[in-house]
């Protein structure tokens, strides 16, 4: 198809004379006013930007065809992993194109399920989502959290499972919290913040989280404060009741740093104190289960790829800790106890393996998986002999299996039916060398029979941060991209968790440039090996991945034809000023409080490294007006600065979704629209 000839008359974005001083250096921030998303001036700017963007996208003739194909493929039954509480099973299901998945319950797996909650009935446009869920031990009550328009703010309600009716309990100003019931089903623990100032709910910074107990049938004002730290504004608290009901385990977190503290409270004793078990931020400790006073943890203490240890709270000194399962060459991702055995999920070169160990640490066997891919699940209670897991890969949609721990047999519980043939596609893993000589794995997926002639449209996707691992997973969006002849490439950049905490730390703070180098060298490898060329190469990523895209397109503008930064962290000098942004300082640094970190952040901040009269890649920035995780000001300011600096005919546009947030809980209709717009943009730019 021929490329659209379009003259882009970008909105004139007002320039302020705002000057900030960082460690003696004066820096302008001309678009500071865009940090207020609700001001009339910003609203006008949003409308003007969207008008230009959608006018351009609507002219791309294949846009509607792409949308129709995505919609057709998306329309298949999607099941969540079943779980059990009391004598009932629960699982989520989406009929295909429902905006939100529906929660069902049933007593036996072959029964006709009944709807427990359908979030689609809570709003006309599907923008109210179920964000958290916990069933009481007797299977009779459900605590659930609702999020509106993609916000991180959650309201918790309680439903009687037998009647399907809500109780009067209603908790507000909950954020970054689970729900954990007491053994007697009388109430639950949760965490909340103080009510923010009126009108600033989506921007106000979040400090001083508090852990509460809510007794069913009482007002939130009567909730019992279990733990808070007025002297530690950044500490957050996650409270979870042990399976035997004897203890409340309090994991204390500080930002996004994986290092945590562990406290506990004896629930068998009235007014028992909170005991500090792990009182220094030295490593990550993830509670698994307990046998009386013996607590099992997964930890990366002296084991970057993690191991399992036991701590006896009667003799809690570190010299009395015992190692149950030592660290291996594979990264230990998660552990549970089923059939009185450890079920351990590992990552080997970013794909899954699952192993069973006795409680004394002796190896029993490895569970046979269908193929190379990703698994999750294996939930349940200590003595359960059945469990469920889901397997997926780049070419295999999520298949749910029921696993019998006594026989070791996996049987398909639910398998989707989608209008495509997985045998038409192939995935391979390559290892390339980054700038400093480090070997980086990369998955490459495409149609079989691909010609390595350097002309294939390629979408290079990455993240590289916060200990997040990118493992093989199926995506309708990526399938449609590959149907059109596209190559989909995912490198496992440093900063992620694929090879443990050392891999994570190799891509954070003063090592952050490693992540950008890893991504840039992935692009160069694809070009050198004739998969694609700079004229056919697009890059994408969201959130921290949006930062990745922004930094790389600024550092190497000629290497990419197109860039799709989504809900990105793009102003590295002020990210800590909004909502939960301060929590990322452990990952990025703090420009305000540390001069060395200021120089680091200023050196790669996408917003601050744009150069006037530079030809940047064609860019489609995507964000949402209700994103209170990475506030839209990042994308707004970057779009304004990019449009001013850019030289050339390439479009540099911003697409601003309304009544949506960072991505969680986004309605299916909005997801499909956004994917269609992204692929249409790439079809035009890459001339597919």
The DSSP secondary-structure symbol of 452 reads -
Total Cβ atoms within 10 A of residue 659: 17
Q: Are 16 and 31 contacting, i.e. CB atoms less than 8 angstroms apart?
A: yes
For position 256, what pLDDT does the model report? 82
**Is 153 exposed, middle or buried, given 0-12, 13-18 or 19+ CB atoms closer than 10 A?**
buried
Active site residue 662: yes
Task: Give me the chain's average pLDDT, please.
Answer: 95
Pairing assessment for the beta strands 25-28 and 19-22 based on DSSP bridges: antiparallel
For position 323, what pLDDT does the model report? 98
For position 126, what pLDDT does the model report? 78
Distance CA 284, CA 275 (A): 18
Instruction: Return the closest-CA partner of residue 532 out of 442, 433, 453.
Output: 453
Q: How far apart are the first and last CA of the chain?
A: 7
Distance CA 4, CA 94 (A): 38
Calculate the CA 473 to chain-centre distance: 14
Calculate the CA 88 to chain-centre distance: 29
Instruction: Return the closest-CA partner of residue 308 out of 338, 281, 291, 328.
Output: 328
Distance CA 662, CA 568 (A): 10
Total Cβ atoms within 10 A of residue 673: 17
The DSSP secondary-structure symbol of 646 reads B
Q: Are 248 and 234 contacting, i.e. CB atoms less than 8 angstroms apart?
A: no
**Active-site option among 136, 410, 543, 635:** 543
Q: Are 384 and 370 contacting, i.e. CB atoms less than 8 angstroms apart?
A: no
For position 202, what pLDDT does the model report? 67
Instruction: Give the chain's residues under pLDDT 50.
Output: none
Q: Model-level pTM?
A: 0.90
Q: Are 310 and 304 contacting, i.e. CB atoms less than 8 angstroms apart?
A: no
Maximum CA extent, the chain: 74
Distance CA 321, CA 307 (A): 13
For position 3, what pLDDT does the model report? 63
For position 660, what pLDDT does the model report? 55
């Amino acid at each position: 198809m021929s490329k659209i000839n379009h003259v882009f008359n970008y909105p004139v974005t007002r320039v302020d004379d705002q000057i900030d001083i960082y460690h003696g250096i004066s820096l302008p921030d001309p678009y500071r006013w865009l940090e207020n998303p609700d001001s009339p001036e910003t609203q006008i700017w949003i409308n003007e930007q969207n008008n230009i963007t959608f006018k351009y996208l609507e002219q791309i003739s294949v846009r509607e065809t792409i949308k129709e194909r995505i919609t057709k493929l998306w329309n298949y039954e999607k099941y969540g992993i079943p779980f059990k509480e009391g004598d009932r099973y629960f699982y989520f299901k989406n009929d295909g194109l429902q905006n939100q998945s529906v929660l069902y319950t049933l007593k036996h797996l072959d029964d006709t399920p009944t709807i427990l909650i359908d979030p689609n009935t809570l709003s006309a446009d599907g923008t109210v989502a179920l964000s958290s869920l916990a069933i009481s031990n007797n299977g009779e009550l459900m605590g659930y959290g609702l999020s509106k328009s993609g916000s991180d703010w959650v309201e918790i309600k309680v439903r009687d499972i037998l009647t399907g009716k809500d109780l009067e309990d209603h908790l507000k100003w909950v954020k970054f919290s689970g729900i954990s019931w007491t053994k007697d089903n009388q109430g639950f623990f949760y965490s909340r913040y103080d009510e923010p100032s009126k009108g600033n709910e989506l921007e106000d910074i979040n400090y001083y989280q508090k852990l509460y107990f809510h007794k069913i049938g009482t007002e939130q004002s009567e909730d019992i404060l279990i733990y808070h730290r007025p002297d530690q504004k950044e500490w957050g608290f996650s409270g979870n009741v042990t399976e035997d009901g004897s203890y409340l385990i309090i994991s204390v977190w500080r930002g996004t740093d994986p290092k945590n503290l562990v406290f506990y409270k004896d629930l068998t004793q009235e007014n028992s104190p909170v005991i500090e078990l792990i009182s220094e931020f030295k490593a990550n400790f993830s509670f698994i289960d307990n046998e009386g006073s013996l607590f099992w943890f997964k930890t990366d203490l002296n084991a970057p790829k993690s191991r399992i240890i036991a701590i006896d709270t009667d003799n809690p000194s570190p010299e009395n800790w015992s190692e149950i399962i030592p660290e291996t060459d594979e990264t230990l991702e998660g552990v549970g106890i089923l059939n009185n055995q450890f079920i351990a999920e590992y990552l080997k070169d970013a794909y899954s393996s699952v192993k069973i160990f006795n409680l004394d640490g002796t190896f029993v066997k490895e569970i046979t998986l269908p193929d190379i891919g990703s698994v999750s699940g294996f939930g349940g209670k200590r003595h359960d002999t059945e469990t469920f897991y889901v397997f997926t890969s780049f070419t295999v949609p999520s298949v749910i299996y029921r696993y019998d721990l006594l026989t070791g047999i996996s049987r398909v519980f639910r398998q989707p039916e989608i209008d495509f043939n997985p045998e038409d596609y192939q995935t391979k893993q390559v290892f390339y060398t980054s700038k400093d000589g480090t070997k980086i794995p990369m998955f490459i997926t495409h149609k079989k029979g691909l010609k390595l002639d350097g002309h294939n449209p390629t979408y290079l996707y990455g993240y590289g941060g916060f200990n997040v691992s990118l493992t093989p997973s199926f995506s309708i969006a990526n399938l449609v991209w590959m149907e059109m002849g596209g190559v989909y490439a995912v490198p496992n950049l440093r900063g992620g968790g694929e090879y443990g905490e050392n891999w994570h730390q190799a891509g954070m703070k003063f090592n952050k440039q490693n992540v950008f180098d890893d991504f840039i060298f992935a692009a160069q490898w694809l070009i050198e090996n004739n998969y694609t060329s700079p004229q056919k190469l697009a890059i994408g990523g969201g959130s921290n991945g949006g930062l990745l895209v922004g930094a790389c397109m600024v550092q190497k503008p000629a290497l990419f034809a197109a860039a799709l930064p989504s809900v990105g962290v793009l102003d590295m000098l002020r990210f800590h000023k909004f909502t939960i942004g301060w929590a990322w300082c452990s990952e990025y640094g703090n420009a305000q409080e540390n001069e060395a970190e200021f120089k680091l952040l200023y050196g790669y901040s996408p917003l601050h490294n744009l150069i006037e009269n530079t030809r940047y890649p064609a860019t489609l920035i995507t964000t949402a007006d209700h994103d209170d995780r990475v506030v839209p000001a990042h994308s707004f300011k970057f779009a304004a600065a990019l449009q001013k600096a850019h030289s050339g005919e390439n479009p540099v546009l911003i697409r601003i979704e309304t009544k949506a947030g960072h991505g969680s809980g986004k309605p299916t209709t909005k997801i499909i629209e956004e994917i269609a717009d992204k692929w249409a943009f790439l079809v035009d730019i890459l001339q597919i």
